[in-house]
Structures are given as structure tokens and as C-alpha cells.
Amino acid sequence: DHNLVILGIETSCDDTAAAVVRSNGEILSQIVSSQADLLARYGGVAPKMAEEAHAKVIDQVVQEALDKAKVTERDLSAVAVTIGPGLSLCLRVGVQKARKVAGSFNLPIVGVHHMEAHALVARLVEKKLQFPFITLLISGGHNLLVLARDLGHYIQLGTTIDDAIGEAYDKTAKWLGLDLRKSGGPAIEELAQQGDPGAVNFSVPMKQHKDCNFSYAGLKNQVRLAIEAQNINAEIPISSANSEDRSARANIAASFQQVAVLHLEEKCQRAIEWALKIDPSIKYLVASGGVASNKYVRSRLNLVVERNGLQLVCPPPSLCTDNGVMIAWTGIEHFRMGRFDPPPPANEPEDAK
């Protein structure tokens, strides 16, 4: 059906997002309300505070998404909502809102897996992208390599044994005294451009492991020690640091980024070799999740993928970081296959799941 219109709602972490997407891939609206100020003030996501922040804006974010798309609830075919993984207090805000809208307007609901949505949004971006394909999902909480054989049929090739790469970017940014209002990743990416990636010799994680798993806790620790060794004081924001101090910070950012990404490159190479053995018809590697919006990450992955005769698909930054479009789109993919729940009862009590 080419005329489905789906509302997608995402509240799994620190962004409240909603979007309306048509089944032909047209994005009718996309609204994100970020908790960047809270993040900067408390240096991380506090679940209770994040929940309150979501609850405060969810109605408005959904209304804006509908208004901007020039549709009303009556024009919708279904409501899609993230049901996990994520902070349960936060997920609940989105799920309750989705059930309220669906209940009031007799709409089916599609529960969406957040990581699946990060992967599948690539099919909205690149219409040629057919299953099977390999996916690298890199965000604040996840570091996954997955072989997507078909819709709902995923084989995990690798995951992180401790931290995800985005967590390493975020902590490095915090310890280097960077402005956290724009979140750690982009701040490191920018600073790294002014540094020498060869300045600090960090070791590449998991080199001796012949699998596709990741580890970023050790690298994070190496970065922390390097920062201490150079007497860099995170209390002094980089904007007030002298030029020597600033270039020391830039060098650490660049050295960290090079090794963090080298780890991705090595494991992607291995995953491609594995996956092609299972299924030689694979033509694409999809990179998605917040960290995939990083230009250095993209350019390095592109080299790996080209070397193997594959093509890289990387959604634009606004679709790599958490967003409602990916939820709506994944809702469409499942809805088309008949995978959805019937409308919930109208006027169900607020605390119903």
C-alpha cells in the first residue's frame, strides 16, 4: 500500500521526537525536542529528570508533527512507537502517548525496536537497499554489527563487551572540558580536526580477538590517564584554556578518534568477510546511530566498504541521531507485512501499559 501515513514517536533516551512519514518514503514532518540543556547541567542522562522532560513536551511535539505534516489523527493509518531498548521511565511516556492517540482515533499500533529503526531508516534513504545487508549501529548505548537477512530476521555478528563508542566520545568530551550543550560526539569531531592523531599512542582494542565484538572501556581509560598525565583540567573550559593547553586537548581528541574508529574499521572488515561467506549476495553496509553522523567515521568506513566491493549507506545526520522518522518508517515496514497490534481501548486509564 503506497498511501499509508504513519506517526512515529520516540522517547527512549534524552530526545522527545515525533514524525509523520508516508509509505512512499516522503517525510511529512520531523520534530525533535532535545534535552541538551539538562545534559549539560548534569553531565549525563538522569532517568527521572528525563522522564519529566519528556512528559512536559510530548503532547506539543506530537501536535507539532501533525500540524507541520498538515494532517490530523484521522488521516493516520497507524501509530508507531519505540518500545525498547531504552530507559523504561522514558519509554513509557511515548508508549502512553501513542496508546492515547491510537485509542482515541481507533488506530493500530506498531511497537518498534529502537535499534531496528536505526538500521531500517537506511531503506527510506536509499530506495535500492534490499535485504540482505550488513549493519553497523553505533550510538551512545549500543555498538552492534548485524546481518539483516530480511525484515525481522537479524543475525548479531558482534556487540560491545562493555561500553559503546558514543559513550567513549561523550566521556572524552567531558574530561577535555568541552561544551556539552552540543553533545560529546560532535564536540570531539570538531576539536579533533585541529589536533595531531599521531600525538598520543593509544592502543587499538581487541586486536587479538578473532571475533566481531567491540570494547571501548579500555580506550576510555587510556584517554583518562593521558588527560591526567598532561594535567588537563576539565574544570577549565577549553574556551578559556591557553593555546598550549588547547593543542594538548586537540591532540588527545584526534588520537582518540583515530583509534576509536580504527577499531570500527577492523571489526567491520571482519564482519564483511564473515557475512559474505554466509551470503555472497550482500551488496551494502549500513552505518547508522548517532556516531555514524561523524564525517571522519563515514570516510573511513567508506574506504573499508569500497575495498570489499560493497557500498556504504549512511543516513543523513538528522536521521542517524535519535529521531521520529526512523520509528515511523519502521512502523510502515512492519505494518505493510501485517505486523501490528489492534487499537487499544479508548479512554484507558493513564497508568495502563
Residue 323 partner contact from Zn ion, ligand KG4, none using kind-dependent CB cut-offs of 5 to 8 Å: none
Beta bridge partners of 159: none
Q: Which of 139, 255, 257, 323 binds Zn ion (CB under 5 A)?
A: 139
Is 322 an interacting residue with respect to ligand KG4 (CB under 6 A)? yes
- The beta strand positions in the chain, using DSSP E, are 5-10, 15-22, 27-34, 78-84, 109-113, 133-138, 143-150, 153-158, 284-288, 311-313
**Of the listed pieces 20-28, 232-240, 291-299, 330-338, which binds ligand KG4 according to CB under 6 A?**
291-299
Nearer to Zn ion, 14 or 322 (CB): 322
38 in Cβ contact with 53 (< 8 Å):
yes
Q: Which of 23, 222, 321, 330 binds ligand KG4 (CB under 6 A)?
A: 321
Shortest spacing between CB 181 and ligand KG4, in angstroms:
12
Site size toward ligand KG4 (CB under 6 A) is 19
Q: Which of 185, 195, 324, 331 binds ligand KG4 (CB under 6 A)?
A: 185
How far from chain centre, in Å, is Cα 91?
A: 15
Neighbours of 157 (CB within 10 A): 23
Q: Which of 108, 289, 324, 344 binds ligand KG4 (CB under 6 A)?
A: 289
Nearer to Zn ion, 139 or 258 (CB): 139
How far from chain centre, in Å, is Cα 253?
A: 21
Among candidates 224, 134, 215, which has minimal Cα distance to 176? 224
Shortest spacing between CB 290 and ligand KG4, in angstroms:
2
The Cα–Cα gap between 323 and 128 comes to 22
H or E element at residue 47: helix 47-68
**Of the listed pieces 223-231, 244-252, 270-278, 283-291, which binds ligand KG4 according to CB under 6 A?**
283-291
**What's the chain's Rg over C-alpha atoms?**
21
In degrees rounded to 5, what are phi and psi of residue 212?
-110, 25
Nearer to ligand KG4, 251 or 294 (CB): 294
Shortest spacing between CB 34 and Zn ion, in angstroms:
13
Q: Which of 293, 310, 314, 333 binds ligand KG4 (CB under 6 A)?
A: 293
